Amino acid sequence: MRLPSSTWLAALGALLACAGNPGPDSEPDLRPDGPVRLEIENRSWTDAAIYLLSGGLTRRVGFVTGVSTRTFWVSAAELGVTGEIRLQAHPIGSGSSLTTETLLVHPGQMVRFTLENHLANSAVGVY
């Protein structure tokens, strides 16, 4: 039994449409105008809330549990016009917090923020 050619064309169109859709769990495209990858490595036992400071605004990026690493994506629009950002880590249940120095970040780059038990020993880098 042969299927009509219109059925084959519909099936081919559906297949091609699905091939171009990466799905919800895939990583964004790393292009020079793409999002910034924000990787937080929490070496502390304490969970921490992470904030992005840019253009006079503060936005909560997410939450990182103790002794874990989590990746977030920040859109190029959230970098502001200058690309100058600061990151803040607020350990849950602690009165202390850590704010990084001003970082110059361009779309498509990666920022790695490593939190230590003693916050003063933490580090940040732009790659």
Domain CATH code at residue 67: 2.60.40.2890
pLDDT by residue for the chain (127 residues), tens digit each?
A: 565 555 555 555 554 555 444 444 445 555 567 899 999 999 999 999 999 999 999 999 999 999 999 999 999 999 988 999 999 999 999 989 999 999 999 999 999 999 999 999 999 999 9
Q: What range defines the domain where residue 98 resides?
A: 30-126
DSSP letter at 120 equals G
Does residue 69 contact residue 40 with C-beta atoms inside 8 Å?
yes
Q: How many domains does the chain have?
A: 1
- Of 122, 120, 105, 121, the closest CA to residue 38 belongs to 105
10 within a domain of the structure (yes/no)? no
Q: Where are the beta strands (DSSP E) in the chain?
A: 36-42, 48-54, 57-64, 68-74, 84-91, 98-99, 103-104, 110-115, 123-126
Global pTM reads: 0.74
